[in-house]
A and B are shown apart, each in its own frame.
Chain A
């Protein structure tokens, strides 16, 4: 069974159907690419899955459970994280704080007993240990991206490429099982893109499932196990990079129909 799948997911804005009855399946430990021309509904699909937006109809299942009606913070706590096309960091916080905040609200406390009050009290007592764990794992993620030297910088002062990495680090600090990346290579030069490809593979090797929207075909074709193509809100193709590249409908969507 796929780790995450949608059932005829649909999102309408007034009369515009941004996502039209889309079924996608994301398998554990894979890298899935979501491509399509501008306005195809890729980001809207991301938003409805991660809880930033609600679908008009349809369902999202994660680990066998229906997460469609959950608010964003609960979806995050269940193990889904994402980044944005336009970087959205906490600009007025340090690099370290940005990552720590992702870790803070992941799991409240180790739940020893079911009673919330008792857990709350225990949480106060063991708060030192918890803080230490958060510190350790935040350091771990900063180190993973080579951001340790910048830990006390304000996020807004980082160079662009580093901000992108920090956003991914922050998302990973929530300890997700699935990571959604919305155009991670946007604005990067070819060398940075190459580094990003390595990074995404390293993330996958940690056992994290990756789903990404990307326009950089070199990146998509190189690292994705599966590619899903959207056009006008509909899924028009899906398969391995080679299959998708030769799909007639995909070529038409990108290049337009040839008059024969």
Chain B
């Protein structure tokens, strides 16, 4: 394969980088899309839930271990901090829904949206106040020496991100498609009042949706902190990009969010290489994609345009 005269090994390298970035986008996009699917509103505080999840993981991690020592205990500590971060984020997500969105459930749709933006600003500033604005590095739990494979280099961290992303997404897909609660979630997203008439506790399902989406955001937040940096506004751009990913895939559609995230990660990576867009302008790619998709197929890639029968 010789696309645009990029050597074989470099192509693989970009593909790998794009997939890693995409996996993170997908994990975040799932939270947007699940909440949209059920409440038809964009949770603009999702990025901040991600950020706080990352901080929670960070503090737990450094509380129980000293990463510079290495060894299996650090890996164990990392797993514990990841799980704790998921739980904390999930609780936070449920709490935010309870205090900031649920009272506005019957209000015009703009009201919860504004509430979400407010929550986002509050959380970001609280984080800056308590954790400081300087960016931190999350030390790798594993030796992150680059592995060379046939001219392509891959870091253990990238492998971990891809593996965790794959596991989480598969688990979520199975949960939604096969489990009793997953079925209740799908039913609730299709028609809330009828779901209630089927004996489904709609409020519980909504809380569960926020919990799952927020837990996935915490995972994404920690992955991002490992690969990049940890700082109070990290959720902003990541959240926007993931939102774009969700729209590209078709907002409300679980598979769409996964596809959209991966696609966006790849487009960003290859956009820089193929179109020669300077690194500093990299973010324009995502927003151009948003504009194009809204012009060409506003419902998103995986949503069929259904005409309602009258």
Contact = CB atoms under 8 A, between A and B. Distances in A.
Contacts of A105: 180, 184, 198-200
A171 B190 CA distance: 16
B187 interface: yes
Contacts of B297: none
Interface string A160-183: 000000000011001000000000
Interface residues of B, number: 16
B147 interface: no
Contacts of B193: 52, 72, 88
A73 B200 CA distance: 5
Contact of A104 (B184, B191, B197, B201): B184
Contact of B199 (A77, A84, A91, A100): A77
B202 interface: yes
A21 interface: no
Interface string B65-89: 0000000000000000000000000
Interface in B201-228: 201-202
Given A73-B202, A104-B180, A52 B187 contact: no
Q: Is the contact region of chain B dominated by helix, strand, or loop, or is it mixed?
A: helix
Interface residues of A, number: 27
Contact of B196 (A71, A92, A170): A71
Nearest to A106: B199
B102 interface: no
Interface in B149-188: 180, 183-184, 186-187
Interface string A48-76: 00111000000000000000000111001
A97 B183 contact: yes
Most buried by B among A71, A73, A76, A97: A73
A226 interface: no
A10 interface: no
A90 B190 contact: yes
Contact of B183 (A88, A91, A104): A104
- The 6 A-B pairs of least Cβ separation, nearest first, read A105-B199, A72-B196, A76-B199, A90-B190, A73-B196, A88-B194
